[in-house]
């Protein structure tokens, strides 16, 4: 039972970034420069690991892979719209 609760909690608190990483990278948290760059490095390593995760989704779970593609495409479209507004 505790394991299911732990999994549920992890799903609620993060995507690629933890809530704390979001605060730091968005500038909402006041941290020293060394800590900021340590967080950047940690996130960079996570991004590198995404390559394997994406491959696994593409090969083994096309529906989830499509959902991931849709989120990325939506974000890119929103970014393009924001640039057009400037």
pLDDT in tens, 21-79: 999 999 999 999 999 999 999 999 999 999 999 999 999 999 999 999 999 999 888 87
Helix (H) or strand (E) holding 35: helix 33-60
Report the predicted TM-score, pTM, of the whole model to 2 decimal places.
0.66
Burial 6-26 (b: 16+ CB within 10 A, else e): eeeeeeeeeeebbeebeebee
- Structural domain harbouring 41: 2-85
Number of domains in the chain: 1
The answer on pLDDT for 11 being more than 80 is: no
Measured distance CA(36)–CA(26) in Å, rounded: 11
């Amino acid at each position: 039972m505790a394991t299911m609760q732990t999994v549920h909690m992890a799903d609620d608190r993060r995507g690629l970034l933890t809530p704390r990483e979001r605060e730091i990278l968005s500038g909402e948290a006041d941290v020293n420069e060394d800590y900021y760059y340590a967080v950047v490095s940690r996130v960079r390593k996570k991004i590198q690991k995404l390559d394997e995760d994406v491959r696994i989704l593409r090969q083994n779970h096309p529906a989830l892979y499509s959902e991931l593609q849709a989120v990325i495409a939506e974000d890119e479209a929103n970014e393009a719209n924001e640039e057009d507004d400037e």
